[in-house]
Structures are given as C-alpha cells and as structure tokens.
Amino acid sequence: MTRDIYAEVTNALVASIESAPGRPIMPWNRTGTNEVPSNIASGAEYSGVNIINLWVTARVHGFTTGTWGTFRQWREKGASVQKGQKSSAVIFYKQVTRERTDDENETYGVLKYFNVFNAGQVDGYDPLTLAGSNEPVERIAVIDAVIAKADADIREAGAQAYYSPTDDQITMPESQRFFDTASGTRNENYYAVLLHELTHNAELRIMPHLFRRGLVSCGFCRFPAA
C-alpha cells in the first residue's frame, strides 16, 4: 500500500484542532519554545509542509522542543528512542536532471519520506551536553560595559534570539547553549548574537517612525539552538 504522507499531515492537523474544541489556537503557538523544527544531526531547520506537520505533532503530544531526528541519528548522538514511541514523517523533495544521449536532458521530481522522533521521545539526550558545555559563557568586561550603556531590557530564556519591538525587549538563549564554530568561540558567538539584537533595539530608538509605519520587522531573528 502506498503511504499517503499528505493525508497523514491533514489528519494530524484535524486531531490537533479536535483536541481543543472551541479554542482557535494555531498549533505552532503551543509547542513550548515555539522554535522552528530542526534536525538533530545537521542542525538544519525543516521547511515546507514538514514545519506544519512537526508543529502539529508537537502540539498534540505536548513536546516542548523542536529537535527531531531519525532512529539512527539519535543513536549516533548516544540517545535511544523509547520503546513504543510512534514516529512522524518528514518529506524530502528535489528535482533531478538526467543526461540523455540525444542531448536532451530529462528533469523529474524525487519524493522521499523519513521517519523522525522528537527529543521528547528519546532517552539519553541532553542538548547542553551535546553542545559541548554546561557552563555559561565567560563575560567580556569591555563589551558588557557597552551593552550596559544601552540600557536595554535583556533576558535569557529558551532557545531563540530575537528583539521584540512591541515589548522593547531582547530575548537571548541561555548562554550555556552556545558552542564553538569555525567562525568563532562560544563566547564570541554569544556576544555576536547579543550585539546583533542590540542593533535592532537601537534601530527602534533611532528611527521610531519606521516602527509606527510598520516598516520595521526587526524582531524574531532566529539562530540555531544548541
């Protein structure tokens, strides 16, 4: 029997709506951290219908994280899928061009699906440990002094980095979530993100007329979570 992935997504959405009758709340506003679903192995965010599917699944089952992976990917991270857990489908589509001998290339679409599990369905997964550190970043006094002069409302919570012009507030991931990359240390990465959000805070103060006109959409710049 051919698996109808799109029917599964539709059924999951219906199940989410029926789980809270009379309350027209979109499921992606109820996933705890509200983060875009991402893959545990690559860190890449899912796209298209996969976002809706995984958001809906998280809403129905009460998952509080947006991290997903296949059975093998979780095993490679030292985690194990709990017995009896049901997977969710993600769809992969791309166009492939095949060269032909008659000098006319043939292009066709390839559709595949993979079964993934949420971090809430596995044992042995600690996102902070996998990121490489459980310790807060080391403070850099000279940068902290500059930030203090901005007198911005900065809070650490969850796994997202964004500036909310409505609340005039910067939200940062917990500093222990940051890790070293090819372009910088975890300390440098933390401050790079914080200063980036601080520029949005300054933008609103310098050009408030843009915000009043609805021309500033500076909030909600997202960065991959550890």
CA dist 125 and 115 (Å) reads 18
Mean pLDDT over the full length of the chain: 75
Residue percentage of the chain with pLDDT more than 70: 70
| Domain assignment present for 223 | no
Q: Are residues 170 and 65 in the same domain?
A: no
First and final CA of the chain: distance in angstroms?
39
Of the candidates 190, 198, 196, 195, the one whose C-alpha atom is nearest the C-alpha of residue 152 is 198
Predicted local confidence at residue 177, as pLDDT: 77
Of the candidates 14, 83, 1, the one whose C-alpha atom is nearest the C-alpha of residue 53 is 14
118 has a pLDDT exceeding 50:
yes
Of the candidates 61, 81, 64, 59, the one whose C-alpha atom is nearest the C-alpha of residue 72 is 81
17 has a pLDDT exceeding 80:
no
Choosing from 76, 100, 123, the residue where a domain stops is 123
SS3 91: strand
Task: Confirm if 177 and 168 have CB atoms less than 8 A apart.
Answer: no
| Per-residue pLDDT tens over the stretch 124-173 | 887 655 554 567 888 989 999 989 998 999 998 766 788 888 788 898 88
Per DSSP bridges, beta strands 88-98 and 106-118 are antiparallel
| Per-residue pLDDT tens over the stretch 162-171 | 888 878 889 8
CA dist 112 and 134 (Å) reads 37
Task: Confirm if 63 and 120 have CB atoms less than 8 A apart.
Answer: yes
The domain tally of the chain equals 2
Q: For the whole prediction, is pTM greater than 0.75?
A: no
Q: Are residues 113 and 133 in the same domain?
A: no
In sequence order, the β-bridge partners of residue 111 are: 93
Predicted local confidence at residue 42, as pLDDT: 84
Task: Confirm if 197 and 163 have CB atoms less than 8 A apart.
Answer: yes
| Domain assignment present for 226 | no
Q: Are residues 142 and 112 in the same domain?
A: no
* Residue whose pair of structure tokens reads 């990121």 in the numeric block: 131
74 has a pLDDT exceeding 90:
yes
Q: What average pLDDT does range 27-34 have in this prediction?
A: 38
- The whole-angstrom distance between residue 105's C-alpha and the CA centroid of its chain comes to 37
Predicted local confidence at residue 216, as pLDDT: 45
Range of the domain at 34: 5-123
Confidence label for 122 from pLDDT (cuts 50, 70 and 90): very high
| Per-residue pLDDT tens over the stretch 171-219 | 888 788 787 776 778 888 889 889 988 988 887 776 665 555 554 444 4
Task: Confirm if 119 and 67 have CB atoms less than 8 A apart.
Answer: yes
Eight-state DSSP code of residue 87: P
Q: Are residues 14 and 101 in the same domain?
A: yes
